[in-house]
Amino acid sequence: MTTIKVMVVDDSAVVRQVLAGLLDAAPGIEVLHAVADPVLALERLKRAWPDVIVLDVEMPRMDGITFLKKIMQERPTPVVICSTLTGKGARTTIDALAAGAVAIVTKPRLGLKQFLTGAADEFVATVRAAARANVGRLAVRNPHPVVPPLPKLSADAILPAAAGRAMSQTTERVVAIGTSTGGTQALEEMLTGLPRVSPGIVIVQHMPEKFTAAFAERLNTLCRITVKEAAHNDRVLPGLALIAPGGKHMVLKRSGAQYLVEVLDGPQVNRHRPSVDVLFRSVAKCAGANALGIIMTGMGDDGAAGLLEMHNAGARTIAQDEESCVVFGMPKEAIKRGGVEKTVPLPMIGREISGYGS
């Protein structure tokens, strides 16, 4: 197995020490550099170039986004953002994702060492997945398996499977989308191409608490449709995309011929909250053939079981193709389980949505 070489760039000595220790302790990973700011990082890069860069965004002398853009112009490299859970930091982190970073690892302001140590497996898994990214087009090969620290619950932990099919088709249509690593860039590319008149969309993007609001706000400024972080009892309407809040599950409900969403607490499903499987199961239960399910770039298998349930309930189902994915894990598993009707490249997904709503 080829050793994954990592650079850590963070102005906190504690963060550098903890992250470097976690990575050096992981099999097949070596920390090349751990530096306090991007200016020092640029000097070290002249000696040796890493496979992955773990990057803070708010640092002295040069901010992380400026450094990220320099890297992407000179030599595109997978970058994992390590950022705090603050409103300002969230907006900055979303800008970094838009500039080409592949994933977010969150860090609290207090209890940092204990938090990072407790999240070690997830952090290492993220770095391994990033190392496989083709950031030129944002597609990766299979990430190295890592044993997670949490039990892997199914959607049964939130809601039971459907006992039968949903009611027959109506004029109301729902598009349900699930994505993870690489999804922020993919969703931006896809949603910005949609016309103002589009079917109602519900989205689970694996993203930490507080970042989804900033992500939705950014998309809303770029898209012709309206994009917002979902709130409890929001209606699913044409020309509106609802993004599940980080740290909460989102499920679809039906009220007569109308659809709305509920935002719920609950355990992680497939080690995620929000979970794609939870959303897809709810869509299978109450929308059935009135829905289009789309699974996009992401690590792991969240959404694969739910998309099969949607398919079995009469919904149309689509997977993003391997070439246009950052990580082909989620679509690949959905295809493997038989829940995918059609595989299309990212630039064609918007056309599928527009065609479905017409």
Could you give the CA distance from residue 7 to residue 54 in angstroms, rounded to a whole number? 6
Pick the closest to residue 346 from 326, 328, 321, 329 (CA basis).
321
Could you give the CA distance from residue 171 to residue 173 in angstroms, rounded to a whole number? 6
Give the residue numbers marked as catalytic. Answer: 180, 206, 302
Largest CA distance in the chain: 65
Beta-sheet pairing, 258-264 with 249-255? antiparallel
Could you give the CA distance from residue 286 to residue 253 in angstroms, rounded to a whole number? 6
At 268, is the secondary structure helix, strand, or coil? coil
Pick the closest to residue 147 from 168, 120, 108, 171 (CA basis).
120
Asked if residues 37 and 62 have their Cβ atoms less than 8 Å apart, the reply is: yes
Asked if residues 299 and 332 have their Cβ atoms less than 8 Å apart, the reply is: no
Q: Indicate the residue type of 216.
A: A
Which residues lie closer than 8 Å to 247 by C-beta, 6 or more apart?
208, 209, 273, 274
